Amino acid sequence: MVDLTLSQRSRQILEAIVEDYIATAEPVGSSAVAKRHALSLSSATVRNVMASLEELGLLTSPHTSAGRVPTEKGFRFYVDSLVSLRQISPQEKKEILRRYRETGGNLTDVLRETSRTLSSLSNYTGLVVAPRFTSCLFRHMEFVKLGSHKVLAILVSCNGAVQNRIIETEQEFSSDDLIKMANYLNSVLEGLTIDQVRQKILAEMQSEKNRYDQLLSRALSLSQQALPDAEQDVYIAGQSRIFDQPEFTDLSKMREIFAAFEEKGRLVELLGRCMQADGVQIFIGAETPLKEMAGMSLITSTYLTGNNTIGLLGVVGPTRMGYSSVIPIVDYTARLVSQLLTTD
């Protein structure tokens, strides 16, 4: 938070400049502020205040214009102290709910649709990080015979997430053996997180009783291969909307941004600190976790699933983002997704 005390006049002029710049992407002059915002001030007075705001580091003057644009510090002061948040309209709420009803409630479909919804409503890029699968509660496992030495392992968590893995086996299993193996595993692993399942399987494999029961020993070995890695899925929608922003015409910069979106594992790692706090988090310019996002802003919020596992959703856009509308969109969507995923 920017710790500054500004007069009411300075606050009004800074707010006017930020909102004009958000709307136009053009430097804002003193005469435009005086005319458009009914401040009952002369252009000279506005110009003097703008000079003071520039000295405080809240505005800057592009070389090509006599107007001013907000700095990242100026945007931060605006977000922390000046922005008036717009309410989500009943029509927008209805549209969001309609989209979710069409997913059928499947976790993967809900999260993918969430990224699309965030992008559609904000006109920026929507981003959703799924809860870490290994922190979810185990529901059941199935083995399906695909060939003489090939088995499909299906792992389902309590929040409905599904992981499939094809396993090459050294020996052939009958369909009956696979059913018995799955029944045994489901009985000993019920109620554990996937992380705990991994530990339990290792402990069972070292148990004396299983060393002499070939079927159970094979079941444990097969299930160990079926367990997923600790990676989290990331759903991104509307990357191309960045091209719509006039400040992003540099192709090399665009390539950096798209490369960052492609490195999903690194994206999750860098977004980790966004998941440490409840509620909406706003990262402006250099505050964002990714150096490739310099000149951009990230608005995020966490959401919960039925087993209190945590995911992240948000919107990526220019620092010249419509904060007054995007912040409520992110907040409302996070609360709605939590409600959908925690309601039986």
Q: pLDDT per residue over 285-294, tens digit each?
A: 888 877 777 7
pTM equals 0.74
User: In degrees rounded to 5, what are phi and psi of residue 161?
Assistant: -70, 140
Tell me the C-alpha distance between 46 and 52, whole Å.
10
User: In degrees rounded to 5, what are phi and psi of residue 123?
Assistant: 70, 20
Give, in order, the Cα–Cα distances in Å from 200 to each of 179, 192, 193, 207, 224.
Answer: 20, 9, 10, 11, 10
Domain boundaries 8-82, CATH class: mainly alpha
Domain boundaries 90-131+232-342, CATH class: alpha beta
Domain locations in the chain as residue ranges? 8-82, 90-131+232-342, 134-226
251 token code pair? 């192709």
Per residue in 140-172, pLDDT tens?
Answer: 888 898 888 888 988 887 766 777 888 888 888
Average pLDDT of the segment spanning 188-214: 74
DSSP state of 27: -
In the prediction, which pLDDT does 270 show? 67
19 token code pair? 């909102």
In the prediction, which pLDDT does 199 show? 79
Answer whether residue 230 shows pLDDT above 60.
Answer: no
Give SS3 for 308.
coil
Tell me the C-alpha distance between 77 and 3, whole Å.
8
Q: Which CATH number fits domain 134-226: 3.90.1200.10, 3.60.20.10, 1.10.3330.10, 3.30.390.60?
A: 3.30.390.60
Answer whether residue 221 shows pLDDT above 70.
Answer: yes
Answer whether residue 331 shows pLDDT above 90.
Answer: yes
Would you tell me the crossing angle of helices 90-101 and 107-122 to the nearest 10 degrees?
150
User: In this structure, are residues 169 and 224 in contact, taking their beta carbons and an 8 Å threshold?
Assistant: no
Average pLDDT of the segment spanning 287-302: 82
Give SS3 for 42.
coil
The DSSP string of 170-211 is SS---HHHHHHHHHHHHHHHTT-BHHHHHHHHHHHHT-HHHH
260 token code pair? 């960052």
| Gyration radius of the chain's alpha carbons | 26
Of 31-45, 144-158, 266-280, which gets the smallest average pLDDT? 266-280
